[in-house]
Amino acid sequence: MIAGAIIATYALLAPLTSLDAVQSAGVPLLADKLWFRIATYIAMFMVMATAWNIIGGITGYAAFGNVAFFGIGAYTTGMLVAKAKWPFLAALPLAPVVASAFAALIGLPLLRLRGHYFAVASLGVGVAVGELVQNIDYAGQPLFGGASGLFLPILSIDNRGLFFFYLMLAAAAIAIAVTWWVLRSRFGYGLIAIRENEEAASVIGVNTTAYKVGAFALAAALTGLAGGIFSQWNVFINQDNAFPIEYNVQMILMALIGGTGTVFGPAAGAVLLQLLIQFLGGSLPISFDIPFVSTDARPIVAQVILGVLLVVVVIFMPRGVIDFFGGRSRLSLSYLRRSLRETSL
């Protein structure tokens, strides 16, 4: 919530950066392209974690390959801008469309699987799509830029950093609004019924296939939107940065830390975890030494910390940090003991 407040304040104050006066005054957060870049990453993960929550948290299907939709969105916009010379804002709306169409297509066979089988199959899709995009040739030429990737022209507008930050933040707001709507709709109740007991849901008349595919496609559309913005923001996309395997884990971890199944939980988790990742990666301007850890070992320690965090959160805080906000629960020893009982087999 504190981090959310920082982001909100920042979003409100950010327009002032266009004023030369503020820039020359050197107000730290406002005159700084680095902060824009990090804040845009945070907003990007807010979108991805919130979108994952729809299929993973609300519907209960552990999708491990959502990065495929991010990459498809990035490549859809990238191809239209770089090859077909479309203006960026015209190309962007097609990113969620193509991503969700793809999700609906693979969702039909994939969502027949459950539990571990679905998780493994979705992970496979995430990897396979990236490989396909890199290796498909047409008439001897790589169709999607191949291993060289795609270069988009740098958008010639003032305050580029600000523009992309707002765009990504708008995408995050859309993702949160969609989640809010889902949780209050007949569609959402159907998804929750599927999560709790799929057979029972089917018996009471929920068209489980249509609902599951719908949730998957919705998550894909939002993730694809983030990918579409990313491609123009980053200017260069290739298999490595449009289909990074680690994003799969990070978006899930963010949703878990924040609180799965909730409206704001995944976004809060994204803020917390992305700040932590950037801090451990040494890119935050406020950096201090971690005791007993040399700077060389920091990236390795960062991975260890993230792994330990995942375990601790899953065992002790199954409802995420969002559970402590708004006076629902208080972090206490009895809370942790109760959680441990719940999560133990």
Partner 1 sequence: MTVRKLALLAVAVVAAFACGTASSGPTTGSTITLGAPLGLTGSLTKESILTQQGYNLWQDWINARGGILVGGVKHPVVIKYYDDTSSANQSAVLMQKLITEDKAQFLLGPYGSAATATDAAIAEQNQIPMVEANGAAQSIFNQGYKYTFGVLSPANKYLQGVIDMAATLNPKPTTVFMLSADDNFSLEVANAIVTYAPTKGMTVFPVKKYKNGATNLSAEVQAAKAANADIVLNSGHLQEAIAINKAAKEQKLNAKIFAYSVGPSTPDFIAALGKDADYVYDGSQWTPQVKYTPAFYLTVAQYVAAYKAKYPGLGDPDYHVAESTAACLALQRAIENAGSLDAKKVRDALAALDVTVFFGQIKFDTRGINIYKPMVVEQIQSGVHHTVFPSNIADAQPMYPTPNWDQR
List of residues contacting partner 1 (CB under 8 A): 32-34, 37-38, 41, 134-135, 146-149, 151, 153-154, 160, 234-236, 238, 240-241, 244, 278, 281-283, 285, 295-296, 298-300
Query: In whole angstroms, how close is the CB of 320 to partner 1 at the nearest point?
Result: 26
Enumerate residues 6+ apart whose C-beta is below 8 A from 149: 236, 237, 238, 239
In the complex with partner 1, the residue whose CB is nearer, 285 or 307, is 285
Q: Which is nearer to partner 1, 161 or 190 (CB)?
A: 161
User: Which tokens sit at 163?
Assistant: 């523009």
Which residues is 137 bridged to in the sheet?
Answer: 142
| Beta carbons of 335 and 313 less than 8 angstroms apart | no
Nearest to 225 by CA among 57, 86, 55, 48: 48
Nearest-approach distance from CB 331 to partner 1, in angstroms: 32
| Maximum separation of any 2 CA atoms in the chain, in Å | 66
Nearer to partner 1 by Cβ, of 241 and 329: the residue is 241
Look up tokens 């018996």; give the residue: 203
Measuring CA to CA, which residue among 214, 82, 99 is closest to residue 148? 82
Residue (1 or 34) nearer to partner 1, CB: 34
Based on the number of CB atoms within 10 Å of its own CB, is 99 exposed (0-12), middle (13-18) or buried (19 or more)? buried
Helix (H) / strand (E) containing 152: none
* Type of residue numbered 104: A
Cβ closest to partner 1, residue 104 vs residue 293: 293
Closest CB 241 distance from partner 1, rounded Å:
5
Closest CB to partner 1 among residues 55, 150: 150
111 phi/psi in degrees, rounded to 5:
-80, 0
Please, what is the minimum distance in Å from the beta carbon of residue 249 to partner 1? 14
At its nearest, how many Å lie between partner 1 and the CB of residue 228?
Answer: 16
Minimum gap (Å) between residue 246 Cβ and partner 1:
9
CB of 194 to partner 1, least distance (A): 35
Least separation in angstroms between residue 137's CB and partner 1 is 9
CB of 40 to partner 1, least distance (A): 10
Burial 203-233 (b: 16+ CB within 10 A, else e): eeebebeebbbbbbbbbbbbbbbbbbbbbbb
Q: H-helix or E-strand containing 53? A: none
Q: Judged by CB, which is closer to partner 1: 33, or 184?
A: 33
- Token couple for 221: 């559309």
Closer CB to partner 1, 240 or 342, in the complex = 240
Q: Which three-class secondary structure state does DSSP give residue 244?
A: coil
Tokens 């260069």 appear where?
236
Tokens of 267: 């976004």
Q: Which two tokens stand for residue 214?
A: 């719908």
Contact 190, 59 (CB under 8 A): no
Nearer to partner 1, 250 or 260 (CB): 250
